[in-house]
Structure 1
Amino acid sequence: MESIFNNSFATLVAYVGIVSIYLLVIPLILFYWMNNRWNVMGKFERLIVYGLVFLFFPGLILFSPFLNLRLRGDSKG
């Protein structure tokens, strides 16, 4: 019985780890990458970013109320 509990616990820990990476870690890295490289990306890098946005969209939606990617324009009036 103890081995079943440990196996279930290990499975639960694995699921929590995978979900947290998918919903928290990679979207934050993607936000940071897009924010720093948006104006200097090449076309292939932008294509990769669009693919990653499609892939990690649920995590990006979770952070969208708190983070934004507004471009920093000129500080002129």
Structure 2
Amino acid sequence: MTEATDPAAISPEAIKAALQAEFPGWRVMRTDQLRWWALCGPLPADRYHEQDVVEADTPEALRRELRRLKQAKS
């Protein structure tokens, strides 16, 4: 596996930028405990029922959950 295809070789900042580019409106962060979060808020009153926080153990799991939310909204 090359560095370009090894997820462990990609910097957290590059992963964060890629996720934010794929999911506009979501802010992505990685905590000091290595958890990944995406936040989309505060939401206006007419969207208060929508999920605005997602957390996951890995960036891949965060991406899956954000895709699921995006599909459910469509």
Query: Which TM-score band (shorter chain)?
Result: under 0.3
Higher strand share: 2
Higher helix share: 1
Structure whose alpha-carbon radius of gyration is higher: 1
With normalisation by structure 1, the TM-score equals 0.24
Q: Report which structure shows greater RCO (CA 8 Å, sep ≥6).
A: 1
With normalisation by structure 2, the TM-score equals 0.25
